[in-house]
Amino acid sequence: MPSDTPGVRPALELSDVSKHFGDLRALTDVSLRIEPGDCVLVYGPNGAGKTTLLRLLATLARPSEGKVLYDGGNVHQNPAAAKAAIGFTSHATFLYGELNTRENLEFVGRLFGLANLQQRIATVLDLFHLRERTKTPVRELSRGYQQRVSLARAFLHDPLFLLLDEPFTGLDAASTESLQGLMRRLQEQGKAVVFSTHDFEQGAAIARRLVALEGGRIRYDGLVGMAPLTALRIAREGRKTL
Amino acid sequence: METLRVVWAIFMKDLRVEWRHRGTLASMCIFGILVVFLFNFAFEPAREETVRLLPGLLWIAFAFAGVLGFNRSFAAERENAGLEGMRLAPVDPGAIYLGKMLANLFFLGVAEVVVVFAASLWYNFSFVPAIGWFALITFFCTLGYVAVGTTFGAVAANTRMREVMLPVLQFPVAVPVFIAGVEASTGALKGDPVGDYAGWIKLAAGFSVVFVVLSYLLFEYVLED
Domains along chain A with CATH numbers: 12-92+163-241 (3.40.50.300)
For residue A14, give the H/E element and its range.
strand A12-21
A95 touches chain B (CB under 8 A): yes
Instruction: Pick the closest to residue A171 from A155, A147, A150 (CA basis).
Output: A147
Instruction: Look at A51 and B163; give whichever has higher pLDDT.
Output: A51
**B24 CA: distance to closest CA in chain A (Å):** 13
Mean pLDDT taken over chain B: 91
Three-state secondary structure along chain B? CHHHHHHHHHHHHHHHHHHHHCHHHHHHHHHHHHHHHHHHHHHCCCHHHHHHHHHHHHHHHHHHHHHHHHHHHHHHHHHCCHHHHHHCCCCCHHHHHHHHHHHHHHHHHHHHHHHHHHHHHHCCCCCHHHHHHHHHHHHHHHHHHHHHHHHHHHHHHCCCCHHHHHHHHHHHHHHHHHHHHHHHHHHHHHCCCHHHHHHHHHHHHHHHHHHHHHHHHHHHHHHCC
A108 touches chain B (CB under 8 A): yes
Residues of B in contact with A99 (CB under 8 A): 13, 16-17, 20
pLDDT at A188: 86
- Residues A168-195 have a mean pLDDT of 86
Q: Kindly report the number of other CB atoms within 10 A of residue B159's CB atom.
A: 12
Q: Are A23 and A202 in contact (CB under 8 A)?
A: no
Total number of residues shown for chain A? 242
- Residues B35-46 have a mean pLDDT of 83
For residue A41, give the H/E element and its range.
strand A39-43
Q: Which of residues 15-54 of A touch B (CB under 8 A)?
A: 21
A191 touches chain B (CB under 8 A): no
Q: Are A47 and A196 in contact (CB under 8 A)?
A: no
Instruction: Look at A239 and B55; give whichever has higher pLDDT.
Output: B55
| Spatial separation of the C-alpha atoms in residues A226 and A217, rounded to whole Å | 19
Instruction: Pick the closest to residue A17 from A57, A48, A51, A77 (CA basis).
Output: A57
**Residues in contact with A118: Cβ distance below 8 Å, sequence separation at least 6, in sequence order:** none
ipTM score for this prediction: 0.88
Beta bridge partners of A164: A89, A195
Which pLDDT band holds residue A242 (cuts at 50, 70, 90)? very low
Does residue B54 carry a pLDDT above 70?
yes
| Spatial separation of the C-alpha atoms in residues B130 and B197, rounded to whole Å | 13
Provide the domain count of chain B: 1
Q: B76 and A96: CB-CB below 8 Å?
A: yes
A117 touches chain B (CB under 8 A): no
User: By mean pLDDT, which of A46-50, A157-161, B47-51 is the weakest?
Assistant: B47-51
User: By mean pLDDT, which of A14-23, A114-123, B43-52, B162-171 is the weakest?
Assistant: B43-52
Residues of B in contact with A21 (CB under 8 A): 225
pLDDT at A7: 56
Q: Which region holds residue A154: left if phi is over 0, alpha if psi is between -120 and 50, else beta? A: alpha
For residue A161, give the H/E element and its range.
strand A161-165
Which pLDDT band holds residue A239 (cuts at 50, 70, 90)? low
| Spatial separation of the C-alpha atoms in residues A37 and A40, rounded to whole Å | 10
Q: B84 and A60: CB-CB below 8 Å?
A: yes
Chain B nearest-CA residue for A59: B88
Q: A98 and B20: CB-CB below 8 Å?
A: yes
Q: pLDDT tens for residues A202-219?
A: 888 899 999 999 889 998
Q: Are A156 and A81 in contact (CB under 8 A)?
A: no
Q: What is the pTM of this model?
A: 0.89
Residue B45 CB-density burial (10 A; 0-12 exposed, 13-18 middle, 19+ buried): middle
Residues of A in contact with B13 (CB under 8 A): 96, 99, 107
Q: pLDDT tens for residues A126-150?
A: 988 899 989 999 999 988 889 899 9
Mean pLDDT taken over chain A: 88
Q: How far is CA A168 from each of CA A104, A213, B20, B191, rounded to the nearest angstrom? A: 21, 19, 30, 67
Q: pLDDT tens for residues B65-102?
A: 999 999 988 888 888 899 999 999 999 999 999 999 99
pLDDT at A45: 86
Instruction: Pick the closest to residue B105 from B211, B191, B20, B203 (CA basis).
Output: B211
Range of the domain at B60: 2-223
pLDDT at A1: 44
Q: A83 and B20: CB-CB below 8 Å?
A: no
